[in-house]
Amino acid sequence: MSEGLSLNRISYTDPSEALSPPQPRNGMGQAGLILSACGILLFWVPMVYPNATLIGIVLSAIGLSRARAGAATNGKTAMAGLAIGVLSLVVPGLILLGVATLILRGQQ
């Protein structure tokens, strides 16, 4: 026999391995939660706060839609990111409104 042909080295893959389901795509929901949390913690930084919050809301919404479509498994994480993102838009605005009211009342 020639050494160039070796039939013992042929490997076959199991057909069940080739048809495995795709991995869940959880990155958007997680990134949205992290950015929304950064937005609410850094609301006093003028350029970071609105950008981080808005990007966090968008990524959380994408993650939530992926979870509802079955492409991701972290629907609760994406929902939490969306809720925190909306709160991070509302709460700092209320805080600034309260501080402005106190300052204006103190001047009278």
What is the C-alpha end-to-end distance of the chain, expressed in Å? 105
Contact 63, 77 (CB under 8 A): yes
Contact 56, 34 (CB under 8 A): yes
Write down the pLDDT at residue 91. 87
* pLDDT at 7 exceeding the cut of 60: no
* pLDDT at 5 exceeding the cut of 60: no
Q: How many CB atoms lie within 10 A of CB 66?
A: 21
- Give residue limits of the domains in the chain: 25-107
| Strand segments (E) across the chain | none
Is 0.95 surpassed by the pTM of this model?
A: no
Write down the pLDDT at residue 45. 87
- List, for residues 43-82, the tens digit of each pLDDT value: 888 888 889 999 999 999 999 999 999 888 899 999 999 9
